[in-house]
Amino acid sequence: MADNPLIHLHDFGQSVWIDDLRRDMITTGELQRLIEAEGVRGLTSNPAIFEKAIVGSAAYDEQIRAARGQSVDAVYENLVVKDIQDAADLFRPLYESSEGADGYVSLEVSPYLARDTEGTIREAHHLWERVGRPNLMIKVPGTAEGIPAIEALIAAGINVNVTLLFARAAYAEAAEAYLRGLERHAGPLERIASVASFFLSRIDTAVDDLLQVQLDAADAVQGERLKSLQGRVAIANAKLAYRQFQQIFESERFAALAARGAKPQRLLWASTGTKNPDYRDVRYVEELVGPATVNTMPPATLKACADHCELRPSLEAGLADAERTLAELAAVGIDLDKVTADLLADGLAKFTAPFDKLLASLRAKTEAVVAG
């Protein structure tokens, strides 16, 4: 067990979370095993994960049958809240033993509210009360409308997972919202927690597609220049975001909050499954190992890392190279700010579409289960 790289990541100050939740993970003991044997210290979920779990399984049929007469929205919330509560209960001992450093389970507000500050705040309060677990994190997208919601929720003592961060400027806004929320909170700060979910592989996929367009028309010299940027931008972007993290949370401003018990808002590496089969399947783990961070992995990446991750303190290495990579990207005419803005819009759509599909499928499944 000690040789498992997943467990060894904690020696570097990085926590492993899993990006998955299905009811059978809880009922079969799989999640408990991941906690005990694989070093998993938290869990993230999203509408796409729930759509796959609920629609593709009979594990929810009994609860659906018992919900006869309820609206589809109410049925969905009841199903999800139960899974989140049960998962949070499994992580609760870790939450307590780590004094609130880990053991969190994340639940997303409705993707329909991504551009609605007040709606996000209301739903987050509602979900916080419904789940009723101190180791819950409410996921709020890092949109312009989400930033004031994050501040308000932290000020109210609600843990927040800021999601869909692609740009370093957006990350800085999320960290600022966290600090403002802490400063507004009147009580103890020890058990208020937040992570900033910084997305990785989607950036490389988008940038590589843009580079390929240029490659198709490039001469040999320019072609080598363009190829040297493939698969390097997401990690470079993340390393520079981590430098921002250090500057923010080593500041005098945060020191005053830390004196009141506040914890840093950790960077969480998300979208860590490698999309390009030409790239090493654990690259978004191996290249971003460092303290006060989280890596949330889909099951395939978690399994691959347990098998063959080669770990080193990589996160703070190669900052000059990271800066050169992003400068070179701009020099070849690719606007990273536009790429990340497009990815945010696409990310919101990627959560809204499965949510629409989930509600439609759940309506049909409710009718079928009740009729059966």
CA dist., res. 39 & res. 312, Å (int): 18
**Cα angle 154-119-140, degrees, rounded to a multiple of 5:** 45
How much is the pLDDT for 1? Answer: 46
How much is the pLDDT for 324? Answer: 98
The residue behind tokens 């703070």 is: 316
Return the number of other C-beta atoms located less than 10 Å from residue 222's C-beta: 13
Nearest Cα neighbor of 341 from 169, 183, 196, 192 is 169
Look up residue 276 and give its DSSP letter.
-
Two tokens, residue 294: 């989280």
Residue stretches of the chain with pLDDT short of 50:
1
Torsion angle in degrees (nearest 10) through CA of 348, 147, 204, 40:
-90
Under DSSP, is residue 36 helix (H, G, I), strand (E, B) or coil?
A: helix
Which of 82, 139, 239, 365 is labelled catalytic? 139
Report which secondary-structure segment, H or E, holds 269: strand 266-270
Specify the pTM: 0.95
How much is the pLDDT for 57? Answer: 82
How much is the pLDDT for 367? Answer: 79
Beta strands in 124-242 (DSSP E): 136-141, 160-165, 194-199
Burial class (CB in 10 A: 0-12, 13-18, 19+), 196: buried
Burial class (CB in 10 A: 0-12, 13-18, 19+), 97: exposed
Residue 365 annotated among the catalytic residues of the structure:
no
The residue behind tokens 């989607």 is: 202
CB 195 within 8 A of CB 265: yes
